Amino acid sequence: MDITLDKKESNLGSIKIKLNEADYQSKVDEKIKDYSKKAQIKGFRQGKVPKSLVQKMYGKSILVDEINHIVAHALQDYIRENEIQILGEPLPNQQQIESVDWDNQKDFEFEYNIGMVEEFKLDLTKKVKVTEYEIEVNDDVINETIDNVRNQFGKMTNPEKSEEGDIIFGSFKQDDYSHDTTVDLNDLNKTNAKKFIGKSKGAEIKVDLSKLYKEASKQAAQLGKTEDELEGMDMNFVFEVKNVNRKEAAEINQELFDQTFGPETVKSEEEFRAKINETISENYVRETGAWLNKTIQDQLIAKTSIALPDSFLKDWLKVSSEGKVSDADIEKEYDIYADQLRWNLISGKISKENEIKPEHDEIKEAARKMIAAQFMGSGLGQMADQMDAFVDNYLQGDEGKNYMNMAEQVQQEKVLSFIKEKVEIKSKKVSLDKFKEIVEA
């Protein structure tokens, strides 16, 4: 067997594998011998099938399978032993494969195109400058949050007459058709909402459903039908009011404090506002932290010259998708894919040169924090005493993929922490609206 690398460009090459009869024939003969022992062919006892018959019936498929097996292993071994850092997977020369004469050839040659990573330089110094934003929490934000919490834990009442913001339960009627549903006045524009204000139980309101809701999906949902069933349907209905529902904001008292943060966590309105402030600040830190990480990645991608074998990668993406994506799809999304690939190469280089890797205890702790956050968001904080079991079950789930995904997350966090120690990070206080403008821009 002869294997050679033809480096056409710094990041593009081909691996050629040449086989002669001596490289594969003994293994093919062994397989044929094994087949003759196990084959069940009419007219022959098992184990007594002549090799010549097995050769005639199965010889070509055995030859093809064995050569493919030898070539695949040789290719991977060559890449590993020569420490070739490839992108994607090797792509076989399909035209060459189709031209093989399996009936008559004794010597074979296979070629695989490969995309490679060329050496690149990475600047992790104070020359890389990024801004870390700190969102200021003002009284308006705190008051708005408290209003949202009060509405969340508010109580539903049933007043005599409807007002702005109510939810009205009733029935859309048309001839002998009737369907019960609710109309949330917050979902309607002012003109349409007016029709439903000041109404009591038993009131009837004439409506054109196509004007009430622009989206066909919403129209269909209100009638308990599919969008297809709406076609050609008269959209003029009478809505009969059956009940008026109004959510009254919860009082600011100990019950609200306990519902929001757990029993006895805060005991006064002053403490409640301080805890709201703290919670908002923590959420903002997560948002600004995620933005800082993205900014660091974008900066390093922009400042690091990494030439990619674009044509090869586009071919590989198309082949690996097994026909599920078109050339147009690849062209549209390629720049995003290429930047993510560049970041992976940068992150990998930093990890290798600085021996950064996730430890098992770090992976478990990351999973613990994730699950604890989910519990808190679902109001299941009391499940904390069973956390070890939840963590173990999660990390063992999905055939180990959960563990690998969590390990990758920890790895990225450690890499970014390392980068933050090397580059220059300036802090800047901004309002929430200003931060949103920065992100959207």
Cβ distance 6 to 114 under 8 Å? no
Structure tokens, 318: 């198309």
Q: What is the pLDDT of residues 409-418, one digit of tens each?
A: 999 999 999 9
| Residue 260 belongs to a domain | no
What confidence score (pLDDT) does residue 233 get?
A: 92
Query: What's the pLDDT tens digit per position in 193-219?
Result: 999 999 999 999 999 999 999 999 999
Same domain, yes or no: 199 and 66: no
Q: For residue 175, what is the domain's CATH number?
A: 3.10.50
Residues 31 and 102 both lie in one domain: yes
What is residue 161's predicted lDDT score, i.e. its pLDDT? 95
Same domain, 50 and 194: no
Q: For 319-355, how does the pLDDT look when each residue is reduced to its tens digit (9 = 90+)?
A: 998 888 899 999 999 999 999 999 999 999 999 999 9
What distance in Å separates the CA atoms of residue 54 and residue 270, rounded to the nearest whole number? Answer: 88
| 8 Å CB contact between 32 and 52 | no
Q: Which domain holds residue 97?
A: 2-116
Beta bridge partners of 179: 172
Averaged pLDDT of the chain? 91
Percentage of the residues of the chain whose pLDDT score is greater than 90 = 76
Both tokens of 7, joined, read: 């480096």
Rounded Cα distance between 359 and 374, Å, is: 23
Instruction: Assess if residue 274 is contained within a domain.
Output: no
pLDDT at 67: 95
Per-residue confidence (pLDDT) for residue 108, from 0 to 100: 95
Residues 180 and 54 in one domain: no
* Total domains in the fold of the chain: 4
Do 28 and 94 belong to one domain? Answer: yes
Q: Which whole number is the average pLDDT over 252-265?
A: 90
Residue 15: pLDDT band (50, 70, 90) is very high
* Residue 159 binned pLDDT confidence (cut-offs 50, 70, 90): very high
The pTM assigned to this predicted structure is 0.71
Residue 381 pLDDT grade (very low, low, confident, very high; cuts 50, 70, 90) = very low
pLDDT at 98 over 70: yes
Please report, rounded to a whole number, the percentage of residues in the chain having pLDDT higher than 70: 97
Question: What CATH number is associated with residue 48?
Answer: 3.30.70.1050
